Amino acid sequence: MLIFDNLRKKYLVLTPEEWVRQHFVHYLISEKKYPISLIAIEKQLTLNTRKKRTDILVFNQIGTPELIVECKAPSVKITQDTFDQIARYNLKLNANYLIVTNGLTHFYCKMDFKNKTYIFLRDIPAYN
């Protein structure tokens, strides 16, 4: 199935992971009130000369990364490897919040940069 992605202004295949991503973007916009203009999909970054892409990256008002979301298909179990993946991305991006979701299970974390760890939360803050 093809869907039109308004953020990317193109058609894309609705894979199970893309279904999770689209629903989480909708949640960020409709429930948490993050402006569409601050949300990037598949933002490229370079880690040790390797090109990677974040699933969802949300910037703050001054243009620095605030929130990274890693999406997996609903059939994919969230493991330590998933957290390691998003943590590697955050070594480059320094976002304040990390989210891992498979559409059924969601983990919300706030970075503790002083202790080089993350603190699990019940939810992420709404946009202010």
Q: Where are the domains of the chain?
A: 16-121
pLDDT, block means (10 residues), the chain with 128 residues: 63 85 96 96 90 95 96 96 92 96 96 92 92
Domain spanning 16-121, CATH class: alpha beta
Residue 4: the pLDDT is: 63
For the question of whether the overall pTM of this predicted structure is more than 0.75, the answer is: yes
- For residue 101, list its beta bridge partners: 71, 106
Q: Is 37 in a helix, a strand, or coil? A: helix
Numbers of helices and strands, H then E, in the chain:
2, 10
Residue 1: the pLDDT is: 63
Closest Cα to residue 24, out of 101, 85, 77, 82?
Answer: 101
